[in-house]
Amino acid sequence: MRSAAVIGAGSWGTAVASILGGKGVRTALWARSAEVAEAITTEHRNPRYLRELTLPEAVWGTADVEEALDGADVIIVATPSQAVRSAAEAMAGVWNGRAPIVSLAKGLERGSLLRMTEVLADVLGHREMFAALSGPNHAEEVSAGIPSATVISAYDPALGVALRDLFMTRTFRAYTNPDIVGVELAGAAKNVIAVAAGMSDGLGYGDNTKATLMTRGLAEMSRLGRAEGANPLTYMGLAGMGDLIATCTSRHSRNRGLGERIARGGTVADFEQETGMVAEGAVSCMTVDELATRYGLELPIAHQVRLIVHDGVAVSSAAGALMGRDATDELHGMDLIDS
């Protein structure tokens, strides 16, 4: 794979383009704005995201999807989850059906509740050509060369290995995991728990509270994955616990930051206007809750986050609602061992 196209010039798309370009892969970084694309090409920087990052010479910008995909050996979709369908539709008449497509988006599509690779397959067909990359990967740290790791899951195991080798660097270690259902669902659900963790921070709660939210949140994530046929062990790995830790605790975390903002009286709109970024948990708290309802599952943390973010329920009421639930076994509903 000597050439690549990254669709989406946000923080993570820019960081991934830098990884590939740094390995000598000629990489087109597609941006909605022609001005941003021009700066990427001529100044080797993204004027909106990761502004301090100098992009490798092999990275160039474009605002034309057809130009970005022309000759690309691999395509990386780095848009927010709710824009993946429109990105796929833009590629539909251009993609040659041979270049693998990697989704970086973490979420479920509103309405359909499809995972991101399912959305791509719904529009483009050729499911065997799709993969997902997920893990504790804050763009700010990855782009600075701080040691990090990720997991790549593909419908075709051979493709997963090829992509693993493509992304691997001295500071960015890649692993494969064949459980694409678990990898994608974990990426969507952990953002909801991170919003809850941020709300805990905003209310001034302590480490005990956050640790409780994270571990009980992991139980919810695993429960949902089990219903969809995921491997429970995936939730112990990079896409599960690894990403959950990073997203619930980091100062870089958009979702944790959103929760903290809401707990202090702000809104989703306030957060997005100030940061210029999308916090996926704002939508995922709805889609994850709806998917749980489809399976008849109890995900109390996700449900409370949804009530707070979208139904106007007071943040302070969530603690009482969660702490007042009936006592039960810690592994209730997880069924990790088949009888």
Q: One-letter amino acid identity for 156? A: D
Catalytic residue, candidates 23, 106, 190, 210: 190
The answer to whether the beta carbons of residues 77 and 87 sit under 8 Å apart is yes
Which strand ranges, in their side-by-side order, compose the sheet holding 148-154? 59-62, 26-30, 3-7, 74-77, 101-103, 130-134, 148-154, 172-176
Counting every residue written for the chain, the total comes to 339
23 noted as active-site residue: no
Q: What tokens does 105 get?
A: 């988006």
Q: Which residues, at least 6 apart from 137, have a Cβ–Cβ distance to it below 8 Å?
A: 12, 15, 148, 150, 243, 246
The answer to whether the beta carbons of residues 217 and 196 sit under 8 Å apart is yes
Question: From its phi and psi, is residue 49 left (phi > 0), alpha (psi between -120 and 50) or beta?
Answer: beta
Closest by CA to 153, choosing from 133, 136, 169, 172, is 133
**Which positions are catalytic?**
190
